[in-house]
Amino acid sequence: MTRLLRTALIQQRCGNDKGANLERSCAMIRRAAADGAALVVLQELHAGPYFCQVEDPALFDMAEPIPGAASRAIAGLAGELGVVVVASLFERRAPGLYHNTAVVFEKDGSTAGIYRKMHIPDDPGFYEKFYFTPGDLGFNPIKTSVGTLGVLVCWDQWYPEAARMMALAGADLLIYPTAIGWDPADGTAEQERQRDAWITVQRGHAVANGLPLLAVNRVGFEPSPLHPETGIRFWGSSFAAGPQGELLAEASRDDEEILLVDLDLARSETVRRIWPFLRDRRIDAYGDMVKRYRD
């Protein structure tokens, strides 16, 4: 048996005009729905530029509550088109308390659930710890009319524990809205190593958990607000992998794109029967996993 789900990965460029970014996201959602997509996934922080290149208290003004203007726009569109949408927003939860939050909208426009990014980086050009409080909702997949979605966000994608927790909680697929790219000062070889590692680790999550996976990345160059001659070149390359890690589709490194992929959600059952990794886990011997390091 098969259980096909047409998905759309929305890879877009973003500028400083929030309204224009959101309008572009909505236009691409409409096109994806017209092409038969039942699940549409947007990239990380799709309504604005990647502002975490600098630490600036004024940039907290970009956040909004949920529900807010951006989430209401996406919710209305999901209801109008009858599609499930995964959006990624800068959430203002309370004064001085902000999250990097993924919101899943059901096809009737209601909110199916939210996930707050758990792993928060702090690296040159990615100063997210200044802006985002780590999530407090745990690793809980979100039930929707198209399946149970294991939604994680960007930096989470490097952690096999996060993917495993979603799988153990019954996720039908893993989803990663993402904003990752190169420092243009890095050499070509280093850039290729970084991109290859990003793809490889996520394909490994698909294999280890016997689940399909969607990774949706932004694209284009975004200059640093303080030093416009520097910035991040987001490498696009949004992709879908099957439950054996097989690449099903991959987007451009340089261009906006709607990547349509038909996933067979029933195939995970077949793969897990021949590769029963969940059966063979030594849960009796994993106690030290909750330690920071074994001295």
154 assigned to active site: yes
Chain-centroid distance of CA 279 in Å reads: 28
Pick the closest to residue 130 from 119, 122, 141, 142 (CA basis).
Answer: 122
Look up residue 45 and give its amino acid: L
* β partners of residue 172: none
Question: Residue 262's CB: how many other CB atoms inside 10 A?
Answer: 14
Active-site residue (options: 52, 91, 154, 250): 154
- Long-range contacts at 114-120 (CB < 8 A, ≥ 24 apart): 114/66, 114/142, 115/140, 115/142, 115/151, 115/152, 115/153, 116/91, 117/152, 117/153, 117/154, 117/155, 117/156, 118/152, 118/156, 118/162, 119/155, 119/156, 119/158, 119/159, 119/162, 120/155
What is the three-class DSSP state of 87?
strand
What is the three-class DSSP state of 6?
strand
Q: Two tokens at 274?
A: 């021949």
44 assigned to active site: yes
129 assigned to active site: no
To 10 degrees, the CA torsion angle through 78, 134, 172, 42?
30
Q: Two tokens at 57?
A: 């208290």
Active-site residue (options: 44, 91, 128, 250): 44
* β partners of residue 105: 85, 111
Find out whether 116 and 89 touch, Cβ atoms under 8 Å. Answer: no
* β partners of residue 250: 239
Active-site residue (options: 106, 107, 117, 222): 117
**DSSP type of residue 123:** B
Residues annotated catalytic, as ranges = 44, 117, 154
